[in-house]
C-alpha cells in the first residue's frame, strides 16, 4: 500500500485506495486478478477472509487451490462500478499508469504460472500493445462445451512501455493467462451456469499446464 499512497500524494489525487492480497500466496502458483476494488477509504484485506456474494463464487471456483491462490486488483482505485476506470483507460492517465507499474512489480515478483483475469478490460495487460506491454499467443484450451469460450493464452514476452519502465525482459514468459469475467458483470448479470468456471475446470487447466505442478497447489 505504501507505494500506491506515495503515487497518490505525488500526483495530488484524492480518493481511497484498496488492496486485497493473500499472505499465504504460493510463488509460481495461481494468481486471480480483478480490476479495482469497491468501498471507500484506504484498506488492506486478506483475500481468504473476503466473504460475501461477490467473493464466495471465487473461493468456490478455486476449490482446494484457494488457500495458496494469490489475488490482486490491477488498479487499487476504489470504484466498484468501474465507470471512471473504463473511461480513463488510455495512456494519458498518468495516475493509473503509475499505480499499475507497482501492481506489475508485484505480479513479476510472484511469477505465477497461471493468471486468471476475471475482467473484460484486458487492454491493461498489453493486448493492444499499451500499458503493461505483455505479448501473447493463443493456446488451444483443454476445456470443452460452452466453457471453451474463455480464451487461454501464454505470455511470450514484453514490449517496453512507460508503465513497465521500458523493460525488455519479464519473469512471466511461459505463464498461462485465462481470460474469464466476473461471475456477475457490472450490470449484475451472472455468467450462465453452462459457461461458469468451476473448480474442475481450473484443475483441468492446471493439469494441462503441468501435472506435477498441479499437485503443489493445495
Domains of the chain, residue spans: 2-214
Tell me the per-residue pLDDT of 34-66, one tens digit each, with 9 for 90 and over.
Answer: 999 988 889 999 999 999 988 999 999 999 999
Distances (CA, A) of 156 to 15, 17, 25, 126, 136: 36, 31, 24, 11, 5
Q: Which residues contact residue 152 at a Cβ distance below 8 angstroms, ignoring those fewer than 6 apart? A: 138, 139, 140, 141, 143, 176, 177, 178, 179, 205
Question: Could you tell me the sign of the dihedral formed by the alpha carbons of 107, 109, 31, 213, in that order?
Answer: positive
pLDDT in tens, 115-146: 999 987 888 999 977 899 999 999 999 999 99
Q: Report the share of the chain in percent with pLDDT over 90.
A: 76
DSSP assignment letter at 191: P
Question: What DSSP element (H or E) covers 205?
Answer: helix 199-209
Digit-coded pLDDT (tens) for 78-117: 875 666 676 666 656 889 999 999 999 999 999 999 999 9
% pLDDT > 70, the chain: 91
Spatial CB neighbours of 161, under 8 Å, sequence gap ≥ 6? 126, 130, 131, 132, 133
Rounded mean pLDDT of 139-165?
Answer: 96
Mean pLDDT of 141-156: 97
d(CA 6, CA 84): 21
- Pairing, β 134-139 against β 152-158: antiparallel
Amino acid at each position: 500500500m505504501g507505494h500506491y499512497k506515495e503515487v497518490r500524494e505525488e500526483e495530488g489525487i484524492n480518493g481511497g485506495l484498496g488492496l486485497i492480497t493473500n499472505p499465504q500466496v504460493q510463488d509460481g502458483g495461481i494468481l486471480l486478478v480483478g480490476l479495482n476494488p469497491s468501498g471507500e477509504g484506504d484498506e488492506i484485506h486478506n483475500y481468504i477472509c473476503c466473504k460475501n456474494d461477490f467473493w464466495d463464487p471465487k473461493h468456490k471456483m478455486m476449490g482446494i487451490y484457494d488457500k495458496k491462490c494469490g489475488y490482486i486488483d490491477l488498479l487499487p482505485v476504489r470504484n466498484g462500478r468501474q465507470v471512471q476506470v473504463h473511461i480513463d483507460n488510455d495512456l494519458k492517465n498518468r495516475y493509473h499508469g503509475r499505480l499499475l507499474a507497482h501492481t506489475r512489480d508485484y505480479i513479476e515478483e510472484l511469477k505465477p504460472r497461471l493468471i486468471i483475469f476475471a475482467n473484460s478490460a484486458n487492454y491493461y495487460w498489453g493486448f493492444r500493445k499499451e500499458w503493461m506491454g505483455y505479448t501473447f499467443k493463443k493456446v488451444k484450451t483443454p476445456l470443452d462445451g460452452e466453457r471453451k469460450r474463455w480464451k487461454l493464452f501464454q505470455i511470450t514476452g514484453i514490449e517496453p512501455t512507460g508503465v513497465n519502465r521500458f523493460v525488455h525482459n519479464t519473469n512471466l514468459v511461459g505463464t498461462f493467462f485465462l481470460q474469464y469475467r466476473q461471475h456477475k458483470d457490472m450490470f449484475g448479470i451472472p455468467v450462465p451456469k453452462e459457461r461458469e468456471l468451476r473448480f474442475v475446470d481450473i484443475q483441468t487447466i492446471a493439469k494441462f499446464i503441468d501435472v506435477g505442478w498441479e499437485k503443489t497447489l493445495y
